[in-house]
Amino acid sequence: MFYAVLGLSIFFFVGITFFVVYFTIKYRHRPGHKAQPSPAHNDAMEITWTVIPTIICVFLFLGGWKGYLEFTSEKSNPMVIDVTAQKWHWNFTYPDGTQDGNLHVPVGQPIRMRMTSVDVLHSFYVPAFRVKQDVVPRRYTYVQFTPTRPGVYRLYCAEYCGDDHSQMKVKVFVHEAGGYERFLSEKASLSQSMSPEETGLYVYNKKGCVACHSVDGSPKVGPSWKGIWNEQVKLADGTTITVDDQYIKDSVLEPQKQARPGYPPSMPSFAGQLSEREIAGVIAYIKSLK
Ligand code: HEC
Ligand SMILES: [Cu+2]
């Protein structure tokens, strides 16, 4: 294949170069030589090369339109999974309210993803399923597919969305019969058995805080969490505030309300994305980072 393409390229290159040189010499300007009038119009040819491509385009359009309709119209009785994209992770909310950072679906079940972003443009992309769709702030976009083979697949963000865009790669688990239900119940019992601190650590890693907050004092997009508990911090409006339960909860729900000077207003609100239990977990976890 490679040599065929290389050979063809060389063939065309040499051929075209030859004609350029040949015609340049043959038709060069000479004294006493008048230019020939060039042909201007031919109705038969123009009609032919207009009508035939138009007919071809109509057929191409019909095929594409049919595929588009099939791709976008709602299948009968799909399972709807809510997708929230944000810098820089995915959050999937299943019909029973369970949330996870990876996508879990039962095999053979038509799936409809209802997607939105809380900050910038992202794009939902599962190459193995041949689906790719922009995820847009303040509106819903949809993607549908029916997974046909159990296994683990890759899901990417296909819209360059900032520093850690490349970290928005997660897994799609297509479960065999019963596996999806098992995932839900394991997830439920896991979150019930975790201590508040463990819940906080889990949130830190799985809900994307890790992209912007360190826990060892090193600077990232936002302030490190190490040693901030009970400390006084300066706010952008000049006042000081103590880092306590209330401040942490407010920071999670309305980050820009108590903005810190020197940090970009880049933290998205996690209202509706973290349960009370998880917020309490974050508080306990930050408290533990001496
Ligand atoms: C896109 C980057 C980003 C992500 C993701 C992010 N934060 Fe933040 N966060 C910031 C920035 C920037 C600030 C400081 C400015 C402000 O308060 O808005 C901040 C401030 C905070 C504060 C206040 C800390 C202080 O020292 O003032 C808390 C608490 C906090 N974030 C918790 C979280 C939690 C919990 C998560 C994950 C569920 C999270 N953040 C995810 C960027 C981010
Ligand atoms: Cu993205």
137 shares its domain with 198: no
Ligand nearest to C-alpha 157: 2
Each residue's pLDDT, cut to its tens digit, for the chain (290 residues) gives 789 999 999 999 999 999 999 999 988 888 887 877 887 888 999 999 999 999 999 999 999 999 888 777 777 788 999 999 998 889 999 998 888 889 999 998 999 999 999 889 999 999 998 889 999 999 999 999 889 999 999 999 999 998 889 989 999 999 998 889 998 888 887 777 788 888 899 889 888 898 899 999 888 889 999 989 988 888 888 888 999 989 999 999 998 888 888 888 888 888 878 888 889 999 999 999 98
Question: What distance in Å separates the CA atoms of residue 267 and residue 152, rounded to the nearest whole number?
Answer: 31
**Is there a domain that residue 224 lies in?**
yes
Check which CATH number belongs to the domain holding 95 and give it: 2.60.40.420
139 shares its domain with 94: yes
279 shares its domain with 214: yes
Cα separations (Å) of 43 from 49, 51, 53, 262?
10, 12, 16, 70
180 shares its domain with 83: yes
Question: What distance in Å separates the CA atoms of residue 263 and residue 269, rounded to the nearest whole number?
Answer: 15
213 shares its domain with 228: yes
**Is there a domain that residue 2 lies in?**
no
**Is there a domain that residue 236 lies in?**
yes
224 shares its domain with 278: yes
Show which of 190, 210, 225 is a domain's final residue: 190
Give me 11's structure tokens. Answer: 């063939």
252 shares its domain with 156: no
Query: What pLDDT, on a 0 to 100 scale, did the predictor assign at position 188?
Result: 81
Domain that holds residue 255: 194-288
Show which of 57, 74, 91 is a domain's final residue: 74
**Is there a domain that residue 28 lies in?**
no
Check which CATH number belongs to the domain holding 202 and give it: 1.10.760.10
Ligand nearest to C-alpha 170: 2
Query: What pLDDT, on a 0 to 100 scale, did the predictor assign at position 189?
Result: 79
**Is there a domain that residue 11 lies in?**
no
Q: Residues enclosing ligand 1, CB less than 6 A?
A: 87, 203, 207-209, 211-213, 221-223, 228, 233, 248, 251-252, 255-256, 259-260, 263-267, 270, 282
Query: What pLDDT, on a 0 to 100 scale, did the predictor assign at position 36?
Result: 78
Question: What distance in Å separates the CA atoms of residue 63 and residue 265, rounded to the nearest whole number?
Answer: 46
53 shares its domain with 114: no
83 shares its domain with 66: no
Q: How many domains does the chain have?
A: 3
With the most atoms of ligand 1 within 8 angstroms of its CB, the residue from 99, 212, 229, 250 to mutate is 212
